[in-house]
Amino acid sequence: MPFDSLVSGVGTEIIADVEAFTPPLGIVAVWFIGQAGFIIKFSSGTVCYLDPWLSDLSGGPRAYPIPLDPHLITHCDILLTSHDHGDHIDVDADPIIMRQSPQATWVAPRGAEALACRLGGTEKRTLLLDGDEAAMVHDVRITAIPSTHYGFFSEKRYTPAEEAWYATIPAQLPPERRGTERFIGFVLECDGITIYHAGDNNGYHGFLERLARWPHFDLMLLPINGRDWFREQHGAIGNFTHREAAQVADRARARLLIPYHFDGFVGNNEYPDALVRYVQNDGPRVPVRVLQVGERALVERGAKNLTPVPSPLP
């Protein structure tokens, strides 16, 4: 059942913190809610939920119970969905969030249009973005950055045409997906702060060039669970490795990297300490902070957070 591990009212302390705390101008507040999910609150008071996964059903067992009851979320202004996998577009929790937050706008890739409509996304409250398309929602400028999320080792992952394209140029977007991307990330700009959330991504030719349109990022949120042949045999398609995430953040001139996609699924996790050790030793000196579920971080515009924070996770 979709909410077997849900304890009614769980996460009230997260909700109370989001509602009580509004960051001053030039600072953004970020809460990690597990897997790829974040809450972002700007100094204007606008609250964004990015890829919240707050149910049990998404193709694999949760590593821990649902951390936040979606029925409590009444303050969401923008719900952002990067793609149509169940741990990013939550077919059970997302409609609850939209119902409980009648002021919210749902932002999703155009490739997820049918699913968003089936889940109750109305024309008035849903914004569908093509790759590289931008729009203003409330006071946040949102730019959709195409992502790639496919198997390097498995043979049957998308359409035959896509498979043939990946087989010859595995890091490029196939022509039939351009303009109707199924997988996107988001650049959020508000109050002079620039944030990038990658969704699920393992990179492609032209990806770094897209990010180079911004002089820097105050915050990058990137997946680090990597990919391998064994996981793909069980349908677990991976993302950047921790090394790749650090390299992306460094080349995109990120002032802080917060990793995700390391804790949600049994058997598809990663150890964020490896990222911290990498940037402290032989990797690029990218500032890193690892958040526990429910923890809040404050990110200052233009700040150079040069001290990596060791992971509090075991």
User: Which stretch of DSSP H or E encloses residue 164?
Assistant: helix 160-168
Per the structure, the complete domain to which residue 187 belongs is given by: 12-300
User: 76 lies in a domain?
Assistant: yes
d(CA 140, CA 123): 19
Q: Considering its fold, how many domains does the chain have in total?
A: 1
d(CA 146, CA 42): 24
Judge whether residue 57 has pLDDT over 60.
Answer: yes
Q: What pLDDT score was predicted for residue 312?
A: 36
Which of the residue ranges 18-27, 124-133, 223-232, 292-301 would you say has the lowest mean pLDDT?
Answer: 223-232
Q: What pLDDT score was predicted for residue 30?
A: 98
d(CA 202, CA 265): 18
Q: What pLDDT score was predicted for residue 237?
A: 75
Average pLDDT, the chain: 86
Which CATH number fits the domain that encloses residue 72?
A: 3.60.15.10
User: 43 lies in a domain?
Assistant: yes
Paired tokens of 284: 């690029």
Characterize the bridge pairing of strands 140-146 and 184-190: antiparallel
From the number of C-beta atoms within 10 Å of its C-beta (0-12, 13-18, 19+), residue 127 rates as buried
Burial per residue of 181-205, b for 16 or more beta-carbon CB atoms within 10 angstroms, e otherwise: bbbbbbbbbbbebbbbbbbbbbbbe
Query: Strand order of the sheet with strand 38-41?
Result: 126-129, 105-109, 78-80, 47-50, 38-41, 27-32, 296-300
User: 309 lies in a domain?
Assistant: no
Contacts of 309 by beta carbon, 8 Å cutoff, 6+ apart? 276, 288, 289, 290
User: Which stretch of DSSP H or E encloses residue 143?
Assistant: strand 140-146
Judge whether residue 154 has pLDDT over 50.
Answer: no
pTM over 0.85: yes
User: 132 lies in a domain?
Assistant: yes
Report the chain's C-alpha Rg in angstroms.
18
Judge whether residue 155 has pLDDT over 80.
Answer: no
User: 4 lies in a domain?
Assistant: no
User: 29 lies in a domain?
Assistant: yes
User: 71 lies in a domain?
Assistant: yes
User: 278 lies in a domain?
Assistant: yes
d(CA 19, CA 6): 22
